[in-house]
Structure 1
Amino acid sequence: MTTIQEIKNQLQQLQEPNQWLEELEADKRKGVQLAIAQWKKRYVKKQKLIEDFIQKQSFDNSYKRMPSCLIAGIDEAGRGPLAGPVVTAAVILPEGCTELVGVDDSKQISKEQRQHFARLIKEQAVAYSIHVQSATAIDELNIYQATKQSMEEAVGQLDIAPDVVLADAMNLIVKCPTHSIVKGDEKSLAIAAASILAKTTRDELMNDLHEQFPWYGFNVNAGYGTPQHLQGLATHGFCEHHRKTFEPIKSMWRDKR
């Protein structure tokens, strides 16, 4: 009789339900039934990811005037934190790109998944670009205008010009038709891919800043106003990477002057 471990190994290799799986249902050993249940759970999850991928891709394709149109998705990371830059990314994906099944809004997937997909997106993309907007520019322009300008810069820096731009909830002025998509990182594959590049890049930058300013905890809070970050501000004051138009830095800056 085939051992339970051997059955588990076979199930690990099984991609689709088949006659063997149906016959296996008759095996009443608890270990076998548990292995079957686990396989079915994984299969349902995989099918859901494939369905979501097809839906996101179809959403992007609905904006094509013709099949050859290139769609650029664009998104940002870091509008809300007290410190660090806003990072925007623009991505043009190829047709198919089934390796990106599972790509989603960067906030909905784990750090490990973001890093995995960031590598794949860079490998698979027809073109991508990343723009970093400093805290100084954010203070000079305001956060909305700084983000908008950064997104437009990211589009302009693409090696291949897109025919259409889909932006996550932002109206842009670029050299091609653009569409502002509310919750675009949930609906569009290209915007979701851009959100992953923006998020992973910004996290890397905040990790680098943590090496210079460890008392703020940038490596764990990404510049948001956590208790550790606020305590660092109270003890050490603000640094050049803090946004002086954001509270409480705004009041600290005013009092210092």
Structure 2
Amino acid sequence: MRAAVEGNAWLVLFVAYGILAALVLPRLFEGALDVTPLRGQLRERYGSETARILAAAPLRFTAQNLTTAIYMAGTLGMALAAHAVVRMPRGSEALVRTGATLALVHGITGFASVALRDTPVDTALGFFRNGAYAQLDHRWEGFVRMNGIWPEASSFAAFGVGWFVFNFECWLRRVEPHLTGPAALVLGLALLASTSTTAYVGLALSGGVARPRRDHPGPHRPRPTGLAFAGRDRRRHRRQRAAGARPAPCRRDAQTARAHDS
């Protein structure tokens, strides 16, 4: 646990400040300034869409402050747990497979939010859209924007870009390519269809980094990582077992043996 905390020291500080701010600052500055209300913004209450968007209310402590504190604490807990799992044996493999699964689910729910809008499936997806901060709808004269289980399209894209880059880079390095390749493809197509500027900027930056490495594979070729070595060793062991030969020790095991011998 200590290693996980030290590895996420900046996140620990950020979460501690965020929880403190969420619980203390609304009471400290209650009524001193106006903020945009995040719940109960019914159009009928304000008379017009413009009035609803520009509406403000005095700052006060609400249940949303507790929700924010709980979400931040949950984020920190997941980061610490992920750090501990990756350091375990075969932890890297679990990380890659989890990332591929997340990417596939994210992309599929994105397509479902458009193709199955106003159906029972959309109602089920709406159960997860518990953020009521989006002031604008995601449709315009019959055109529907992709948002998956997220409250708005930009949040859907921001979450998806990171996992697309992860899976695409793993696929380039031949790390679980049978999983990371399809995951990157499905999520990439979803981001292209999302009509989100966040998605297009993220894809452009990712493509701008990958293009030089494709055109100049020498100096720009991705340096193999521990994940790549693990995937390479597993494929070599499968071939050796299929041929009836005794598998050779993994790269890391061989390095450890040499270190002990010295």
Q: TM-score range by the shorter chain?
A: under 0.3
Bigger strand fraction? 1
Higher-RCO chain (CA-CA 8 Å, sequence separation at least 6): 1
